[in-house]
Structure 1
Protein backbone atom coordinates (compact mmCIF):
# COMPACT_ATOMS: atom_id res chain seq x y z
CA UNK A 1 0.00 0.00 0.00
CA UNK A 2 2.82 2.44 0.84
CA UNK A 3 4.52 1.61 -2.46
CA UNK A 4 1.29 2.40 -4.31
CA UNK A 5 0.97 5.69 -2.43
CA UNK A 6 4.46 6.79 -3.49
CA UNK A 7 4.14 5.53 -7.07
CA UNK A 8 0.90 7.50 -7.46
CA UNK A 9 2.63 10.75 -6.46
CA UNK A 10 3.30 12.70 -9.66
CA UNK A 11 6.11 14.64 -7.98
CA UNK A 12 8.32 11.57 -8.34
CA UNK A 13 9.58 10.43 -11.73
CA UNK A 14 12.59 8.60 -13.11
CA UNK A 15 15.39 10.72 -14.50
CA UNK A 16 16.17 9.94 -18.17
CA UNK A 17 19.09 7.58 -18.71
CA UNK A 18 21.38 10.14 -20.31
CA UNK A 19 21.28 12.42 -17.26
CA UNK A 20 20.66 9.85 -14.53
CA UNK A 21 24.19 9.69 -13.12
CA UNK A 22 24.80 13.43 -12.97
CA UNK A 23 21.32 14.34 -11.76
CA UNK A 24 20.80 11.59 -9.18
CA UNK A 25 24.28 10.95 -7.79
CA UNK A 26 26.28 14.07 -8.55
CA UNK A 27 23.94 17.03 -8.14
CA UNK A 28 21.44 15.22 -5.92
CA UNK A 29 17.83 15.87 -4.90
CA UNK A 30 16.57 14.68 -8.28
CA UNK A 31 12.95 13.95 -9.19
CA UNK A 32 13.42 10.31 -8.18
CA UNK A 33 14.79 11.10 -4.72
CA UNK A 34 12.36 10.37 -1.89
CA UNK A 35 14.53 10.64 1.24
CA UNK A 36 18.01 12.08 0.86
CA UNK A 37 20.58 13.52 3.24
CA UNK A 38 22.09 16.72 1.86
CA UNK A 39 25.71 17.61 2.57
CA UNK A 40 27.51 20.89 2.06
CA UNK A 41 31.25 21.49 1.75
CA UNK A 42 31.07 24.45 4.15
CA UNK A 43 28.84 22.81 6.74
CA UNK A 44 29.08 19.02 6.80
CA UNK A 45 31.19 16.86 4.49
CA UNK A 46 30.11 13.30 3.68
CA UNK A 47 33.34 11.74 4.93
CA UNK A 48 31.96 8.20 4.68
CA UNK A 49 31.55 8.16 0.90
CA UNK A 50 34.84 10.01 0.43
CA UNK A 51 36.69 7.42 2.46
CA UNK A 52 34.86 4.30 1.29
CA UNK A 53 34.11 5.18 -2.35
CA UNK A 54 36.63 7.90 -3.20
CA UNK A 55 36.67 11.40 -4.74
CA UNK A 56 39.01 13.67 -6.74
CA UNK A 57 41.86 13.68 -4.21
CA UNK A 58 41.59 9.96 -3.41
CA UNK A 59 40.25 7.90 -6.27
CA UNK A 60 40.92 4.57 -4.61
CA UNK A 61 38.31 4.25 -1.90
CA UNK A 62 38.45 1.49 0.68
CA UNK A 63 35.72 -0.48 -1.08
CA UNK A 64 35.49 -1.86 -4.62
CA UNK A 65 33.16 -4.07 -6.66
CA UNK A 66 34.38 -7.70 -6.39
CA UNK A 67 36.03 -8.87 -9.61
CA UNK A 68 34.09 -12.15 -9.33
CA UNK A 69 30.84 -10.20 -9.79
CA UNK A 70 31.97 -8.01 -12.69
CA UNK A 71 31.77 -10.83 -15.22
CA UNK A 72 31.12 -14.55 -15.33
CA UNK A 73 28.46 -16.85 -13.95
CA UNK A 74 28.07 -14.96 -10.66
CA UNK A 75 27.69 -11.52 -12.22
CA UNK A 76 24.28 -9.82 -12.48
CA UNK A 77 25.46 -8.43 -15.84
CA UNK A 78 25.55 -10.38 -19.12
CA UNK A 79 23.19 -12.83 -17.43
CA UNK A 80 21.75 -15.58 -19.68
CA UNK A 81 17.96 -15.80 -19.45
CA UNK A 82 17.04 -18.48 -21.95
CA UNK A 83 18.16 -17.21 -25.35
CA UNK A 84 18.25 -13.63 -24.07
CA UNK A 85 21.20 -11.93 -22.36
CA UNK A 86 20.22 -9.53 -19.59
CA UNK A 87 22.13 -6.30 -19.06
CA UNK A 88 24.73 -6.54 -21.80
CA UNK A 89 27.91 -4.74 -20.84
CA UNK A 90 27.89 -2.54 -23.94
CA UNK A 91 24.27 -1.50 -23.32
CA UNK A 92 23.46 -1.31 -19.59
CA UNK A 93 24.61 2.11 -18.38
CA UNK A 94 24.86 0.84 -14.81
CA UNK A 95 27.72 -1.48 -15.78
CA UNK A 96 29.46 1.56 -17.24
CA UNK A 97 28.55 4.25 -14.71
CA UNK A 98 28.36 2.64 -11.28
CA UNK A 99 31.91 1.28 -11.04
CA UNK A 100 35.14 1.93 -12.92
CA UNK A 101 35.61 -0.53 -15.75
CA UNK A 102 39.35 -0.58 -16.28
CA UNK A 103 40.49 -4.22 -16.41
CA UNK A 104 44.12 -3.11 -16.53
CA UNK A 105 43.79 -1.58 -13.07
CA UNK A 106 43.07 -4.95 -11.47
CA UNK A 107 40.30 -3.53 -9.26
CA UNK A 108 36.86 -2.15 -10.00
CA UNK A 109 36.54 0.99 -7.89
CA UNK A 110 33.12 2.37 -7.02
CA UNK A 111 32.16 5.37 -9.17
CA UNK A 112 28.62 5.94 -7.92
CA UNK A 113 28.70 9.00 -5.60
CA UNK A 114 32.47 9.34 -6.14
CA UNK A 115 32.27 10.47 -9.74
CA UNK A 116 31.52 13.61 -11.69
CA UNK A 117 31.04 12.15 -15.16
CA UNK A 118 32.08 9.35 -17.49
CA UNK A 119 32.99 9.96 -21.13
CA UNK A 120 33.43 7.34 -23.85
CA UNK A 121 35.83 7.24 -26.78
CA UNK A 122 34.52 7.31 -30.35
CA UNK A 123 33.54 3.63 -30.52
CA UNK A 124 32.46 3.20 -26.88
CA UNK A 125 35.20 0.69 -26.14
CA UNK A 126 36.89 2.75 -23.42
CA UNK A 127 35.68 5.19 -20.78
CA UNK A 128 37.38 8.06 -18.99
CA UNK A 129 36.23 8.72 -15.43
CA UNK A 130 36.28 12.20 -13.88
CA UNK A 131 35.87 12.51 -10.12
CA UNK A 132 34.06 15.04 -7.98
CA UNK A 133 35.96 17.43 -5.73
CA UNK A 134 32.92 18.41 -3.67
CA UNK A 135 31.01 16.33 -1.14
CA UNK A 136 28.18 13.99 -2.12
CA UNK A 137 24.72 13.55 -0.66
CA UNK A 138 23.43 10.19 0.53
CA UNK A 139 20.15 8.78 -0.79
CA UNK A 140 18.18 6.63 1.63
CA UNK A 141 15.23 5.96 -0.68
CA UNK A 142 14.66 6.72 -4.35
CA UNK A 143 11.93 5.78 -6.79
CA UNK A 144 13.58 2.69 -8.37
CA UNK A 145 13.92 1.16 -4.90
CA UNK A 146 10.16 1.53 -4.36
CA UNK A 147 9.33 0.17 -7.82
CA UNK A 148 11.40 -2.94 -7.18
CA UNK A 149 10.10 -3.27 -3.62
CA UNK A 150 6.62 -3.50 -5.08
CA UNK A 151 7.74 -6.06 -7.66
CA UNK A 152 9.11 -8.22 -4.85
CA UNK A 153 5.95 -7.79 -2.77
CA UNK A 154 3.66 -8.61 -5.71
CA UNK A 155 5.49 -11.88 -6.29
CA UNK A 156 5.34 -12.90 -2.64
CA UNK A 157 1.67 -11.98 -2.28
CA UNK A 158 0.28 -13.20 -5.60
CA UNK A 159 2.80 -15.92 -6.51
CA UNK A 160 2.22 -17.13 -10.12
CA UNK A 161 -0.71 -14.76 -10.57
CA UNK A 162 1.62 -11.81 -10.07
CA UNK A 163 4.27 -12.70 -12.65
CA UNK A 164 3.15 -10.25 -15.36
CA UNK A 165 2.65 -7.39 -12.91
CA UNK A 166 6.03 -7.93 -11.27
CA UNK A 167 7.82 -8.12 -14.61
CA UNK A 168 6.17 -4.89 -15.77
CA UNK A 169 7.59 -3.17 -12.69
CA UNK A 170 11.07 -4.59 -13.26
CA UNK A 171 10.92 -3.39 -16.85
CA UNK A 172 10.50 0.21 -15.67
CA UNK A 173 14.01 0.34 -14.23
CA UNK A 174 15.52 -2.18 -16.63
CA UNK A 175 14.42 -0.41 -19.82
CA UNK A 176 15.70 2.94 -18.54
CA UNK A 177 19.22 1.58 -18.24
CA UNK A 178 19.13 -0.68 -21.30
CA UNK A 179 18.26 1.68 -24.15
CA UNK A 180 14.54 0.95 -23.94
CA UNK A 181 14.92 -2.83 -24.13
CA UNK A 182 12.37 -4.86 -22.15
CA UNK A 183 12.21 -8.33 -20.65
CA UNK A 184 9.62 -11.00 -21.48
CA UNK A 185 8.10 -13.74 -19.34
CA UNK A 186 9.14 -16.20 -22.03
CA UNK A 187 12.78 -15.61 -21.08
CA UNK A 188 11.99 -17.01 -17.64
CA UNK A 189 9.64 -19.85 -18.65
CA UNK A 190 6.81 -18.12 -16.76
CA UNK A 191 8.51 -19.39 -13.60
CA UNK A 192 7.87 -17.86 -10.18
CA UNK A 193 11.32 -18.80 -8.87
CA UNK A 194 13.06 -17.32 -11.90
CA UNK A 195 11.14 -14.06 -11.51
CA UNK A 196 12.15 -13.89 -7.84
CA UNK A 197 15.77 -14.29 -8.95
CA UNK A 198 15.29 -11.60 -11.60
CA UNK A 199 14.01 -9.07 -9.05
CA UNK A 200 17.01 -9.86 -6.83
CA UNK A 201 19.40 -9.29 -9.76
CA UNK A 202 17.72 -6.09 -10.86
CA UNK A 203 17.88 -4.69 -7.33
CA UNK A 204 21.58 -5.57 -7.26
CA UNK A 205 22.21 -3.81 -10.58
CA UNK A 206 20.13 -0.72 -9.83
CA UNK A 207 20.91 -0.20 -6.15
CA UNK A 208 24.51 -1.38 -5.85
CA UNK A 209 26.58 0.64 -3.36
CA UNK A 210 23.43 2.22 -1.86
CA UNK A 211 23.30 0.09 1.29
CA UNK A 212 20.46 -2.18 0.15
CA UNK A 213 22.10 -5.48 -0.69
CA UNK A 214 22.44 -6.94 2.83
CA UNK A 215 18.77 -6.34 3.56
CA UNK A 216 17.75 -7.86 0.22
CA UNK A 217 19.69 -11.01 1.10
CA UNK A 218 18.30 -11.02 4.63
CA UNK A 219 14.77 -11.15 3.23
CA UNK A 220 15.77 -14.18 1.15
CA UNK A 221 17.13 -15.88 4.27
CA UNK A 222 14.07 -15.07 6.35
CA UNK A 223 11.69 -16.38 3.70
CA UNK A 224 13.71 -19.58 3.47
CA UNK A 225 14.03 -19.90 7.25
CA UNK A 226 17.73 -20.54 6.70
CA UNK A 227 20.90 -18.50 6.09
CA UNK A 228 21.75 -20.74 3.11
CA UNK A 229 20.52 -18.37 0.34
CA UNK A 230 22.40 -15.45 1.88
CA UNK A 231 25.58 -17.47 2.39
CA UNK A 232 25.40 -18.65 -1.22
CA UNK A 233 25.45 -15.06 -2.47
CA UNK A 234 28.17 -13.97 -0.04
CA UNK A 235 30.36 -16.86 -1.17
CA UNK A 236 30.34 -15.47 -4.72
CA UNK A 237 32.41 -12.55 -3.50
CA UNK A 238 35.22 -14.93 -2.64
CA UNK A 239 34.79 -14.69 1.13
CA UNK A 240 36.83 -17.16 3.19
CA UNK A 241 35.33 -20.23 4.81
CA UNK A 242 35.78 -18.77 8.31
CA UNK A 243 33.61 -15.74 7.51
CA UNK A 244 30.97 -17.92 5.86
CA UNK A 245 31.02 -20.37 8.75
CA UNK A 246 30.04 -17.62 11.15
CA UNK A 247 26.84 -17.15 9.14
CA UNK A 248 25.69 -20.76 9.55
CA UNK A 249 22.93 -19.80 12.01
CA UNK A 250 20.08 -17.34 11.54
CA UNK A 251 20.90 -15.57 14.82
CA UNK A 252 24.42 -14.91 13.53
CA UNK A 253 22.93 -12.59 10.90
CA UNK A 254 21.74 -10.16 13.59
CA UNK A 255 23.72 -7.82 15.83
CA UNK A 256 24.22 -8.58 19.53
CA UNK A 257 22.53 -6.45 22.15
CA UNK A 258 24.98 -4.01 23.74
CA UNK A 259 26.14 -4.98 27.23
CA UNK A 260 25.19 -1.58 28.62
CA UNK A 261 21.64 -1.93 27.30
CA UNK A 262 21.31 -5.37 28.88
CA UNK A 263 22.48 -4.03 32.24
CA UNK A 264 20.10 -1.06 32.04
CA UNK A 265 17.06 -3.16 31.13
CA UNK A 266 16.70 -6.64 32.62
CA UNK A 267 13.81 -7.38 30.24
CA UNK A 268 16.20 -7.45 27.29
CA UNK A 269 17.59 -10.82 26.19
CA UNK A 270 20.92 -11.29 24.44
CA UNK A 271 21.03 -12.68 20.90
CA UNK A 272 21.52 -16.43 21.47
CA UNK A 273 24.33 -16.66 18.92
CA UNK A 274 26.50 -14.30 20.96
CA UNK A 275 25.62 -15.99 24.25
CA UNK A 276 27.13 -19.26 23.06
CA UNK A 277 29.91 -18.29 20.65
CA UNK A 278 31.81 -15.49 22.37
CA UNK A 279 33.19 -14.67 25.77
CA UNK A 280 33.76 -11.00 25.01
CA UNK A 281 32.40 -8.85 27.80
CA UNK A 282 31.47 -6.17 25.28
CA UNK A 283 28.93 -8.51 23.66
CA UNK A 284 27.50 -10.48 26.57
Structure 2
Protein backbone atom coordinates (compact mmCIF):
# COMPACT_ATOMS: atom_id res chain seq x y z
CA UNK A 1 0.00 0.00 0.00
CA UNK A 2 1.39 3.39 -0.99
CA UNK A 3 2.03 6.04 1.64
CA UNK A 4 -0.47 8.43 0.05
CA UNK A 5 -3.25 5.85 0.13
CA UNK A 6 -2.41 4.91 3.71
CA UNK A 7 -2.58 8.59 4.76
CA UNK A 8 -5.99 8.97 3.12
CA UNK A 9 -7.28 5.84 4.88
CA UNK A 10 -6.02 7.10 8.23
CA UNK A 11 -7.68 10.46 7.61
CA UNK A 12 -10.97 8.94 6.43
CA UNK A 13 -12.71 8.78 9.86
CA UNK A 14 -11.94 12.43 10.56
CA UNK A 15 -12.96 13.50 7.07
CA UNK A 16 -16.26 11.63 7.33
CA UNK A 17 -16.99 13.18 10.73
CA UNK A 18 -16.07 16.62 9.38
CA UNK A 19 -18.37 16.13 6.41
CA UNK A 20 -21.28 15.01 8.57
CA UNK A 21 -20.92 17.87 11.05
CA UNK A 22 -20.32 20.61 8.46
CA UNK A 23 -21.66 19.80 5.03
CA UNK A 24 -24.85 17.96 6.03
CA UNK A 25 -26.26 20.92 8.04
CA UNK A 26 -25.26 23.29 5.23
CA UNK A 27 -27.04 21.19 2.63
CA UNK A 28 -30.13 20.94 4.83
CA UNK A 29 -30.10 24.71 5.37
CA UNK A 30 -29.78 25.31 1.64
CA UNK A 31 -32.72 22.97 0.89
CA UNK A 32 -34.76 24.73 3.57
CA UNK A 33 -33.98 28.10 1.98
CA UNK A 34 -35.61 26.91 -1.25
CA UNK A 35 -38.93 26.15 0.43
CA UNK A 36 -41.78 28.64 0.56
CA UNK A 37 -43.56 29.89 3.67
CA UNK A 38 -47.15 30.76 4.46
CA UNK A 39 -48.10 32.52 7.70
CA UNK A 40 -51.13 30.27 8.06
CA UNK A 41 -49.82 27.02 6.59
CA UNK A 42 -46.19 27.21 7.68
CA UNK A 43 -43.34 25.80 5.60
CA UNK A 44 -44.33 24.41 2.23
CA UNK A 45 -42.21 21.88 0.29
CA UNK A 46 -42.21 24.03 -2.84
CA UNK A 47 -38.73 24.37 -4.34
CA UNK A 48 -37.68 27.70 -5.81
CA UNK A 49 -35.39 30.73 -5.41
CA UNK A 50 -38.18 33.00 -4.19
CA UNK A 51 -36.60 33.68 -0.80
CA UNK A 52 -33.33 34.75 -2.41
CA UNK A 53 -35.19 37.09 -4.76
CA UNK A 54 -37.06 38.53 -1.77
CA UNK A 55 -33.81 39.31 0.05
CA UNK A 56 -31.87 40.59 -2.96
CA UNK A 57 -34.79 42.75 -4.07
CA UNK A 58 -35.33 44.50 -0.73
CA UNK A 59 -33.18 47.50 0.20
CA UNK A 60 -33.79 46.80 3.89
CA UNK A 61 -31.55 43.75 3.73
CA UNK A 62 -28.87 45.65 1.80
CA UNK A 63 -28.69 48.07 4.73
CA UNK A 64 -28.27 45.22 7.19
CA UNK A 65 -25.63 43.49 5.06
CA UNK A 66 -23.77 46.78 4.64
CA UNK A 67 -23.83 47.45 8.39
CA UNK A 68 -22.66 43.93 9.15
CA UNK A 69 -19.69 44.02 6.80
CA UNK A 70 -18.78 47.57 7.83
CA UNK A 71 -18.66 46.48 11.48
CA UNK A 72 -16.60 43.40 10.57
CA UNK A 73 -14.18 45.46 8.44
CA UNK A 74 -13.63 48.16 11.09
CA UNK A 75 -13.18 45.50 13.77
CA UNK A 76 -10.59 43.73 11.61
CA UNK A 77 -8.64 46.93 10.91
CA UNK A 78 -8.54 47.89 14.59
CA UNK A 79 -7.46 44.37 15.55
CA UNK A 80 -4.59 44.57 13.03
CA UNK A 81 -3.48 47.96 14.39
CA UNK A 82 -3.48 46.58 17.94
CA UNK A 83 -2.44 43.00 17.32
CA UNK A 84 0.72 43.51 15.24
CA UNK A 85 2.56 45.78 17.73
CA UNK A 86 1.47 43.62 20.69
CA UNK A 87 2.73 40.46 18.97
CA UNK A 88 6.05 42.16 18.19
CA UNK A 89 6.48 43.24 21.83
CA UNK A 90 5.63 39.72 22.99
CA UNK A 91 8.36 38.35 20.74
CA UNK A 92 10.93 40.54 22.49
CA UNK A 93 9.85 39.67 26.04
CA UNK A 94 11.60 37.21 28.30
CA UNK A 95 9.92 33.78 28.56
CA UNK A 96 8.43 34.58 31.98
CA UNK A 97 6.82 37.87 30.97
CA UNK A 98 5.81 36.39 27.63
CA UNK A 99 3.81 33.66 29.39
CA UNK A 100 2.14 36.31 31.55
CA UNK A 101 1.32 38.36 28.46
CA UNK A 102 -0.17 35.33 26.70
CA UNK A 103 -2.55 34.84 29.64
CA UNK A 104 -3.50 38.52 29.48
CA UNK A 105 -4.12 38.32 25.73
CA UNK A 106 -6.28 35.18 25.83
CA UNK A 107 -8.07 36.32 28.99
CA UNK A 108 -11.20 37.57 27.15
CA UNK A 109 -11.61 34.13 25.56
CA UNK A 110 -11.85 32.51 28.99
CA UNK A 111 -14.99 34.46 29.91
CA UNK A 112 -18.48 33.60 28.72
CA UNK A 113 -19.50 35.69 25.73
CA UNK A 114 -22.76 36.69 27.44
CA UNK A 115 -21.03 37.74 30.67
CA UNK A 116 -18.38 39.65 28.74
CA UNK A 117 -20.94 41.45 26.59
CA UNK A 118 -23.12 42.33 29.57
CA UNK A 119 -20.03 43.84 31.16
CA UNK A 120 -19.58 46.03 28.10
CA UNK A 121 -23.25 47.00 28.29
CA UNK A 122 -22.65 48.26 31.82
CA UNK A 123 -19.55 50.17 30.71
CA UNK A 124 -21.11 51.73 27.60
CA UNK A 125 -24.57 52.54 29.00
CA UNK A 126 -25.90 56.07 29.41
CA UNK A 127 -25.21 55.74 33.12
CA UNK A 128 -22.21 53.49 32.64
CA UNK A 129 -18.68 53.90 33.83
CA UNK A 130 -17.46 55.81 30.77
CA UNK A 131 -20.26 58.37 30.69
CA UNK A 132 -20.20 58.87 34.48
CA UNK A 133 -16.43 59.47 34.40
CA UNK A 134 -16.68 61.95 31.52
CA UNK A 135 -19.52 63.86 33.20
CA UNK A 136 -17.70 64.04 36.53
CA UNK A 137 -14.58 65.31 34.76
CA UNK A 138 -16.68 68.01 33.10
CA UNK A 139 -15.79 66.86 29.59
CA UNK A 140 -19.43 66.32 28.58
CA UNK A 141 -22.76 67.64 29.84
CA UNK A 142 -24.97 64.75 28.78
CA UNK A 143 -24.26 61.06 28.23
CA UNK A 144 -22.77 59.99 24.90
CA UNK A 145 -24.89 57.37 23.19
CA UNK A 146 -22.75 54.24 22.89
CA UNK A 147 -25.29 51.49 23.44
CA UNK A 148 -27.42 50.36 20.50
CA UNK A 149 -24.89 51.76 18.01
CA UNK A 150 -22.51 50.20 15.52
CA UNK A 151 -19.59 51.81 17.34
CA UNK A 152 -20.52 50.07 20.57
CA UNK A 153 -20.66 46.73 18.75
CA UNK A 154 -17.19 47.35 17.30
CA UNK A 155 -15.71 48.12 20.72
CA UNK A 156 -17.12 44.94 22.25
CA UNK A 157 -16.06 42.80 19.27
CA UNK A 158 -12.50 44.17 19.26
CA UNK A 159 -12.15 43.14 22.91
CA UNK A 160 -12.64 39.47 22.04
CA UNK A 161 -11.19 39.39 18.52
CA UNK A 162 -7.78 40.91 19.32
CA UNK A 163 -6.43 37.64 20.83
CA UNK A 164 -6.95 35.81 17.52
CA UNK A 165 -4.98 38.49 15.68
CA UNK A 166 -2.19 38.63 18.26
CA UNK A 167 -1.69 34.87 18.32
CA UNK A 168 -1.74 34.61 14.51
CA UNK A 169 0.83 37.40 14.04
CA UNK A 170 2.97 36.11 16.90
CA UNK A 171 3.12 32.67 15.29
CA UNK A 172 4.19 34.24 11.99
CA UNK A 173 6.89 36.39 13.61
CA UNK A 174 8.32 33.36 15.42
CA UNK A 175 9.18 31.91 12.02
CA UNK A 176 10.78 35.16 10.83
CA UNK A 177 14.52 35.72 10.67
CA UNK A 178 15.60 37.84 13.68
CA UNK A 179 18.83 38.74 11.88
CA UNK A 180 16.85 41.03 9.56
CA UNK A 181 15.98 43.38 12.42
CA UNK A 182 19.57 43.43 13.67
CA UNK A 183 20.81 44.14 10.16
CA UNK A 184 18.39 47.04 9.76
CA UNK A 185 19.41 48.40 13.15
CA UNK A 186 23.11 48.17 12.26
CA UNK A 187 22.39 50.19 9.12
CA UNK A 188 20.93 53.00 11.20
CA UNK A 189 17.21 52.30 10.90
CA UNK A 190 15.04 53.52 13.77
CA UNK A 191 12.41 51.55 15.64
CA UNK A 192 9.54 52.86 13.52
CA UNK A 193 11.39 52.13 10.28
CA UNK A 194 12.31 48.61 11.42
CA UNK A 195 8.72 47.94 12.38
CA UNK A 196 7.34 49.29 9.10
CA UNK A 197 9.95 47.95 6.66
CA UNK A 198 11.02 44.69 8.34
CA UNK A 199 8.49 43.47 10.92
CA UNK A 200 5.25 44.16 9.06
CA UNK A 201 6.32 42.42 5.80
CA UNK A 202 7.42 39.36 7.79
CA UNK A 203 4.12 39.40 9.70
CA UNK A 204 1.94 39.48 6.55
CA UNK A 205 1.09 35.74 6.62
CA UNK A 206 -0.07 36.11 10.22
CA UNK A 207 -1.98 39.27 9.41
CA UNK A 208 -3.71 37.40 6.58
CA UNK A 209 -4.77 34.43 8.69
CA UNK A 210 -5.71 36.61 11.65
CA UNK A 211 -7.76 39.02 9.55
CA UNK A 212 -9.65 36.15 7.93
CA UNK A 213 -10.53 34.73 11.35
CA UNK A 214 -11.51 38.10 12.81
CA UNK A 215 -13.56 39.19 9.80
CA UNK A 216 -15.51 35.94 9.49
CA UNK A 217 -16.22 35.72 13.22
CA UNK A 218 -17.20 39.39 13.43
CA UNK A 219 -19.53 39.15 10.42
CA UNK A 220 -21.32 36.13 11.91
CA UNK A 221 -21.29 37.21 15.58
CA UNK A 222 -24.66 37.05 17.31
CA UNK A 223 -24.51 37.54 21.09
CA UNK A 224 -22.50 40.76 21.09
CA UNK A 225 -24.56 42.56 18.38
CA UNK A 226 -27.79 41.31 19.95
CA UNK A 227 -26.96 42.75 23.39
CA UNK A 228 -24.99 45.86 22.43
CA UNK A 229 -26.78 46.68 19.17
CA UNK A 230 -30.30 45.64 20.08
CA UNK A 231 -33.03 46.42 17.56
CA UNK A 232 -31.53 49.72 16.46
CA UNK A 233 -28.32 48.28 15.03
CA UNK A 234 -29.38 44.94 13.61
CA UNK A 235 -26.89 42.75 11.81
CA UNK A 236 -27.37 39.66 9.68
CA UNK A 237 -27.07 37.18 12.56
CA UNK A 238 -29.78 38.90 14.60
CA UNK A 239 -31.96 39.22 11.51
CA UNK A 240 -31.70 35.46 10.90
CA UNK A 241 -32.63 34.86 14.54
CA UNK A 242 -35.68 37.11 14.22
CA UNK A 243 -36.84 35.25 11.11
CA UNK A 244 -36.45 31.87 12.80
CA UNK A 245 -37.77 32.71 16.26
CA UNK A 246 -39.93 35.79 15.64
CA UNK A 247 -41.86 35.43 12.42
CA UNK A 248 -41.13 31.67 12.20
CA UNK A 249 -40.21 32.14 8.53
CA UNK A 250 -37.47 29.54 8.53
CA UNK A 251 -36.96 29.42 4.74
CA UNK A 252 -36.32 33.17 4.57
CA UNK A 253 -33.98 32.99 7.56
CA UNK A 254 -32.12 30.12 5.92
CA UNK A 255 -31.78 32.11 2.69
CA UNK A 256 -30.31 35.08 4.59
CA UNK A 257 -27.89 32.74 6.38
CA UNK A 258 -26.76 31.18 3.09
CA UNK A 259 -26.23 34.62 1.54
CA UNK A 260 -24.14 35.59 4.56
CA UNK A 261 -22.05 32.43 4.14
CA UNK A 262 -21.48 33.04 0.43
CA UNK A 263 -20.67 36.72 0.98
CA UNK A 264 -18.12 35.98 3.70
CA UNK A 265 -16.47 33.27 1.61
CA UNK A 266 -16.21 35.58 -1.41
CA UNK A 267 -14.69 38.38 0.69
CA UNK A 268 -12.25 35.99 2.36
CA UNK A 269 -11.11 34.49 -0.96
CA UNK A 270 -10.62 37.94 -2.50
CA UNK A 271 -8.70 39.20 0.55
CA UNK A 272 -6.62 36.03 0.67
CA UNK A 273 -5.65 36.43 -2.99
CA UNK A 274 -4.82 40.12 -2.53
CA UNK A 275 -2.57 39.55 0.47
CA UNK A 276 -0.92 36.51 -1.13
CA UNK A 277 0.09 38.69 -4.08
CA UNK A 278 1.50 41.23 -1.63
CA UNK A 279 3.46 38.54 0.21
CA UNK A 280 4.84 37.15 -3.06
CA UNK A 281 5.88 40.66 -4.09
CA UNK A 282 7.63 41.29 -0.77
CA UNK A 283 9.39 37.92 -0.79
CA UNK A 284 10.30 38.22 -4.43
TM bucket, shorter chain: under 0.3
Question: Which structure ranks higher in relative contact order (CA pairs < 8 Å, sequence separation ≥ 6)?
Answer: 2
Structure with a larger share of its residues in helix: 2
Structure ranking higher in strand proportion = 1
Q: TM-score of the superposition, structure 2-length normalised?
A: 0.25
Max Rg structure: 2
